[in-house]
Amino acid sequence: MKENKSDKQLFQSYKNGIKREKKIVFAWQIAILLVFFTVWEVATRMYWIDPLIFSSPSRVFTVIVERLSDGSLFSHVQVTLIETIIGFLVGTLSGIILATMLWSSQRFSDIADPYIVVMNAMPKVALGPIIIVAIGPGYLAIITMGAIISVIVTTLVVFSAFREIDPNYEKVMRSFGATKWQLFKEAVFPAALPAMISTLKVNVGLSWVGVIVGEFLVSKQGLGYLIIYGFQVFDFSLVMSSLVLIAIFAAIMYKVVEKLEKWLIKHSR
């Protein structure tokens, strides 16, 4: 009984230590954020940096509140969020499907390998004008930009994870007469799940980059459009406000992916 009680105390102490560490990390994150905005505000007020170009947190906050009050900001945020989420999902799922196809056929993998390497090296942003001409100047072109910038990275990371699975798994399952699909479903895919989740975190940022660049080129709505419009009329407070909103929503998407990661790990055991 004493040993069991001692084990429980040790386990509880371990859990308390993890919670304490999370609180410390969160406190540091908030502190760094507050220091950043404080230094930014002070620097503009003291004219250490040009307030016309870099604006200030107080001015950014005022612009966001004003545009939320008159309703002009909501539609831009909504458009960009929808485009980013769809591009994120399409790019990630397409990459996983392509990686699965490469794993399923060694010949196809050998044929496609140099093309995938070249596509990964190619600057995806440079394809923007071609995509717009091919698809047309609309939401579809922007979503395609958001997806294409992450699909190759997803394919490479997930395919690499598939190939790094312990070959003993395959030998054991083959000895029991498992088909290739059963091997993939029961061993390869679950083992590569952590790599897929890591790819999701990377794709959050890549999808935002793709969508904002697409909006730079063709959009009449969205946060990317507001950034370009702000530069054109020299309203740098609007530019900084859009950048702050992008950072906020990207952080929210990242946290959602983290929650999904915990849920998947918990239910995959």
Measured distance CA(135)–CA(41) in Å, rounded: 43
CA distances from 229 to 56, 224, 225, 236 (A): 19, 9, 6, 10
Distance CA 129, CA 135 (A): 10
**What pLDDT is attached to residue 21?**
87
DSSP category for residue 137: S
CA angle 221-131-118, nearest 5°? 130
Alpha-carbon distances of 26 from 22, 32, 67, 202, rounded to whole Å: 6, 10, 30, 21
As to burial, measured by CB atoms within 10 angstroms (0-12 exposed, 13-18 middle, 19+ buried), residue 54 is middle
Q: Low-confidence residues of the chain, pLDDT below 50? A: 1-3
For 71, 113, 191, 199, 211, the CA distances from 96, given in Å and listed in that order, are 39, 16, 14, 10, 20
Count Cβ atoms below 10 Å from residue 140 Cβ, excluding itself.
Answer: 15
Q: 């055991």: which residue's tokens?
A: 269
| Torsion of the alpha carbons at 139, 140, 144 and 145, rounded to the nearest 10 | -30
Q: Which of 132, 120, 114 is nearest to 95 (CA)?
A: 120
Neighbour count for residue 155 (Cβ, 10 Å): 25
179 DSSP 8-state letter: -
Geometric angle at alpha carbon 113, from 111 and 115, rounded to 5°: 90
How does pLDDT run across 180-238, given as a tens digit for each residue? Answer: 787 887 778 888 888 888 888 888 888 898 888 888 887 788 899 999 999 888 888 99
Query: What one-character-per-residue DSSP string does 70-104 give?
Result: TTHHHHHHHHHHHHHHHHHHHHHHHHHHHHHHHHH
Q: How many Cβ atoms are within 10 Å of 100's Cβ, its own excluded?
A: 17
Q: What is the pLDDT of residue 243?
A: 92
pLDDT attached to residue 5: 55
pLDDT for position 267: 65
Q: Distance from CA of residue 32 to its chain's centroid? A: 22
